[in-house]
Amino acid sequence: MTNIPKNIEPIIRLNDVSIGYKHDKPLVQIPNLEIFPGEIVAIAGPSGVGKSTLLKTIAGLISPISGSIEVCGKTIPDSPKRGKLGYVPQSLGLVRHASVLHNVMLGANAGHNTPIPFIGVCLPSSFAKKKAIQAINSMGLEDKISEPIRRLSGGQQRRVATARTLAQCPELIMADEFLSELDEKTVGMVLKEVTKYVKSSNSALLVVEHDITRAKMMADRLLVIDDGRANPFITEPTAMEVKL
Ligand SMILES: Nc1ncnc2c1ncn2[C@@H]1O[C@H](COP(=O)(O)OP(=O)(O)OP(=O)(O)O)[C@@H](O)[C@H]1O
Ligand SMILES: [Mg+2]
């Protein structure tokens, strides 16, 4: 695990949380979880165990059955300021008839076209566009910038969703299986860019990754949800250092 100074506030804090869709039948119970700036945490576990549900709950899209969840200093159902939270859902949530640039601009605008605190003005939209183009290039999609999403492969669409979140410059990225459908070389490239962003901006990445080898390779900490246990949240203290 990364060494976190004692006075640093976590970006995510969960206390005695249980999640799921039925109050009498929680899917997962999480006693405590804190994720700090600069950390990469991977959630692993078998299909159907509740990984995406956990991410959606932390994103504020589903209410927890019980317990408290704090994200970027706000306690759910209060939500963090627009743009602070970047979410790459398993279903991607792209606008299929619109271009790559249009989709990535949605992230860039969410992150950069909000008024600057105390000053009250927005950054020029050219800044958001520059961020969008940078993110598209970093995902190796420069030759697809004007292409509509529906004409891209599954792996290319996944990279567009990642670019949309990077262009937003969020404080927290939550990504659900964002490496699936990618070959090993492209996985390396995407991981390198996302890790560079997280470490240089001191943001955090909470990622769902069913492939345990990949999860260990990318993460500082690994959270394994195992439905065979009554209290199925296990923290493995050290994941392997990622070599990029
Ligand atoms: N909207 C919903 N309403 C009721 N039950 C749901 C809903 N969404 C998911 N579930 C159920 O909750 C359980 C956990 O689903 P979830 O999508 O979180 O699993 P997962 O661990 O992400 O699986 P996978 O690795 O296949 O993506 C599954 O049994 C699923 O059928
Ligand atoms: Mg899932």
DSSP string over 203-241: -EEEEE-S-HHHHHHH-SEEEEE-TTSSS-EEEES-PPP
Give the Cα separation of 69 and 76 in Å (integer).
6
* CATH code where residue 73 lies: 3.40.50.300
Sign, CA dihedral 144-147-153-154, equals positive
Cβ atoms of residues 210 and 45 within 8 Å: yes
- Whether 11 is covered by a domain: the verdict is yes
- Whether 143 is covered by a domain: the verdict is no
Ligand closest to Cα of 46 equals 1
- Whether 91 is covered by a domain: the verdict is no
Give the Cα separation of 146 and 136 in Å (integer).
11
Residues 6+ apart with CB under 8 A from 38: 2, 198, 199, 202, 203, 204
Average pLDDT over residues 150-177: 96
Residues 6+ apart with CB under 8 A from 225: 28, 43, 44, 45, 49, 50, 51, 54, 232, 233
Lowest mean pLDDT of 50-59, 176-185, 232-241, name the range. Answer: 232-241
Whether 127 is in the pocket of ligand 1, judged by its Cβ within 6 Å, is: no
Range of the domain at 61: 1-80+210-244
Give the Cα separation of 238 and 151 in Å (integer).
41
Whether 50 is in the pocket of ligand 1, judged by its Cβ within 6 Å, is: yes
Condensed to tens digits (0 to 9), the pLDDT of residues 88-139 reads 999 999 999 999 999 999 999 887 765 555 666 556 678 889 999 999 999 9
- Whether 188 is covered by a domain: the verdict is no
Query: In the beta sheet, which residues pair with residue 70?
Result: 13, 75
Best substitution site from 53, 88, 223 to test ligand 1's pocket, by max atoms within 8 Å of Cβ?
A: 53
Tell me the residue type at 180: S
Identify the pLDDT of residue 212: 85
Cβ atoms of residues 244 and 218 within 8 Å: no
Whether 49 is in the pocket of ligand 1, judged by its Cβ within 6 Å, is: yes
Quick one: tokens of 1? 């695990």
- Whether 7 is covered by a domain: the verdict is yes
- Whether 130 is covered by a domain: the verdict is no
- Whether 27 is covered by a domain: the verdict is yes
Q: How many distinct structural domains can be found in the chain?
A: 1
Condensed to tens digits (0 to 9), the pLDDT of residues 36-90 reads 999 999 999 888 989 999 999 999 999 999 999 999 988 888 777 777 899 999 9
User: Which amino acid residue places its CA nearest to atom 29 of ligand 1?
Assistant: 48
Cβ atoms of residues 140 and 168 within 8 Å: no
Tell me the residue type at 104: V
Ligand closest to Cα of 53 equals 1
In this prediction the pTM is: 0.88
Identify the pLDDT of residue 6: 66
- Whether 179 is covered by a domain: the verdict is no
Best substitution site from 25, 47, 51, 207 to test ligand 1's pocket, by max atoms within 8 Å of Cβ?
A: 51
